[in-house]
Structures are given as structure tokens and as C-alpha cells.
């Protein structure tokens, strides 16, 4: 969990730098922000799988696709909004980022929500280990 917390903190820092530079110069989202998001996202998925393996058969958890994983995580109280995590996954996907409505996904709009979701996941992890 420490690695996920560190990754989240790095993403928050990179977002702050981006926002301050965006206000001055404008321009695209820098590689550092995208890399921090991808790393944090991948760690979050691994943490979710590990936590679910404590209550579900590990082979079953490892075989789950992301939509099933997120629904299962929601049933176990690890994530509040599985649909949001699927949106984050779309953003993580290397294909062009387009929403269901055909509009491009805006990472600068979604990343603060992602940080909030990861923070909630970390709180759920802490609660799981307390019990």
C-alpha cells in the first residue's frame, strides 16, 4: 500500500506542477503527469486484485477482466464507483481517448477524480487491514 500511496502523491505533485505551468504557458499534458497516472493506475489495479484474493480464489481474481474486477471490488467495498474506474481505464488505454458520447476524454478533468478514488481505495485498504 505504501507504493500506491507514494504513486498517488507523485501524481498529485505532477498535477500541481502542470496546473501552475498551464496557467503560465498552456499546452498539452506533460509526459510526467501521464506517466504518474499510468503507474498509479496499474498499482491500484494490482492492489485491488491482491485484496480480493483474500476473500476470493486467487485464480478466479487473476482471470477477471477489468469490468468484472471493478464490480467485484465494489461488492467488497474497495471502490465506490466501478464506472469511474472503467473511465480511468479508458484513459489509461493507449488508444485515442474518446468518451461514450464521442467527445475526447480530458485527462486534466479526470485526474483529480482519479486521485480521490485512489485515496478512497487506500482508506478501504487501511480498514481491511484493521479488521
Radius of gyration of the chain measured on its C-alpha atoms: 15
Give per-residue pLDDT as tens, 38-48. 999 999 999 99
78 pLDDT above the threshold of 50: yes
**Residue 119 CA to its chain's centroid (Å):** 10
Give per-residue pLDDT as tens, 18-37. 877 765 555 666 778 888 99
User: Cell digits for 45?
Assistant: 489495479
> Residue 104, SS3?
strand
- Rounded mean pLDDT of the chain? 85
Domain range for 13? 2-130
Q: What is the pTM of this model?
A: 0.82
pLDDT for the residue numbered 110: 86
CB 88 within 8 A of CB 11: no
- Output the domain CATH number for residue 26: 1.20.120.330
Amino acid at each position: 500500500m505504501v507504493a500506491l500511496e507514494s504513486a498517488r502523491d507523485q501524481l498529485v505533485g505532477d498535477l500541481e506542477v502542470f496546473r501552475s505551468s498551464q496557467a503560465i504557458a498552456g499546452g498539452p499534458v506533460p509526459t510526467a503527469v501521464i506517466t504518474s497516472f499510468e503507474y498509479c493506475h496499474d498499482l491500484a489495479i494490482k492492489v485491488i486484485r491482491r485484496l480480493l484474493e483474500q476473500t476470493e480464489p486467487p485464480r478466479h481474481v487473476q482471470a477477471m477482466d477489468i469490468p468484472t474486477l471493478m464490480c467485484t471490488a465494489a461488492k467488497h467495498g474497495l471502490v465506490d464507483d466501478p464506472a469511474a474506474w472503467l473511465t480511468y481505464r479508458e484513459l489509461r488505454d493507449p488508444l485515442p481517448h474518446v468518451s461514450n458520447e464521442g467527445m475526447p476524454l480530458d485527462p486534466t478533468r479526470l485526474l483529480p477524480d482519479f486521485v480521490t478514488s485512489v485515496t478512497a481505495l487506500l482508506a478501504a485498504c487501511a480498514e481491511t487491514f484493521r479488521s
